[in-house]
Amino acid sequence: MKVFNILSKPGKKLVLLIDPDKYSVHSLIATLFAADESKVSLIMVGGSLVSDRIDSTVEIIKKHTNIPVVLFPGSLLQLTNKADAVLLLSLISGRNADYLIGNHVLAAPFLKKSGLEIIPTGYILMGEGNGSSVEYISNTKPIPSDKYDLVVATALAGELMGNRLIYLESGSGAGVPAHPDLIREVKRNISLPLIVGGGICKPEQVYDISKAGADIIVVGNAVENNIDVLDSFAKAMK
């Protein structure tokens, strides 16, 4: 099944984000076992910083689980044809041309030949400008979390521009995730599948975000610190 079909079919999806720099081979395999047990829908691979372990990380994941693998590239160096799909991210909350079209032009020849399923994704960074990794690397400012009208308008613009997914991101290591009221407003105004990630570390947050309208919830940092929390996240979504 195509990855986009998995993401767009009815029902809530839990996605595990793997940053290759944060895992040893042993801890990665243990985490993959937990992902299988928790029935994670997809595994995303990527991060804000440059990593030279994308190929080997994806190979280990493919060897130890049948969960589809989607690239979540923070740079052109985080591309590989060994995955199943790639989120072609346009940072529509920012005004850095490299993250709107520049890097896409450079990556296009590789992506065309790669055989990867390409999923255009409108990526919206939110927060209070406290220096998240995404903010620093992309050299863009997040949309303030309390500016609901701006976030909604940006998400709507992303849909009208032809993106197939909208991704609300509170930033790597964010202190708090997107507020349920904001998620509800965005979901009410778009017809695309809605991804929410960043700052999610408690099962009750997963529950609230899911109930507010998120179709896909991405968790990463919390699982790096404690793989047992993955099962509680999965149960919270149910």
- The DSSP-derived string for 53-65 is -HHHHHHHHHHH-
The confidence score (pLDDT) of residue 172 equals: 60
Question: Exposed e or buried b for every residue in 7-46, given b needs 16+ CB within 10 A?
Answer: bbeeebbbbbbbbbebbeeeebbebbebbeebebbbbbbb
pLDDT of 53 over the 90 cut: no
Mean pLDDT across 142-147:
94
pLDDT of 51 over the 70 cut: no
Mean pLDDT across 214-237:
96
The confidence score (pLDDT) of residue 133 equals: 82
The confidence score (pLDDT) of residue 7 equals: 97
Tens of pLDDT, residue by residue over 83-136, are 999 999 999 999 999 999 999 999 999 999 999 999 999 999 998 766 678 888
pLDDT of 233 over the 90 cut: yes
Indicate the average pLDDT of the chain.
94
pLDDT of 161 over the 60 cut: yes
Report whether 18 contacts 43 (CB < 8 A).
yes
Q: What is the DSSP string of 3-26?
A: HHHHHHSSS-EEEEEE-GGG--HH
Phi, psi of 43 (to 5 degrees): -120, 125
Domains of the chain by start residue, with CATH? 13-237 (3.20.20.390)
Percentage with pLDDT > 90 across the chain:
87
The confidence score (pLDDT) of residue 120 equals: 98
d(CA 2, CA 221): 27
pLDDT of 17 over the 60 cut: yes
Percentage with pLDDT > 70 across the chain:
96
The confidence score (pLDDT) of residue 96 equals: 97
pLDDT of 173 over the 60 cut: no
Predicted TM-score (pTM) of the model is 0.96
Report whether 50 contacts 77 (CB < 8 A).
yes
pLDDT of 188 over the 90 cut: yes
pLDDT of 213 over the 90 cut: yes
Report whether 216 contacts 187 (CB < 8 A).
no
The confidence score (pLDDT) of residue 48 equals: 77
The confidence score (pLDDT) of residue 101 equals: 97
The confidence score (pLDDT) of residue 137 equals: 85
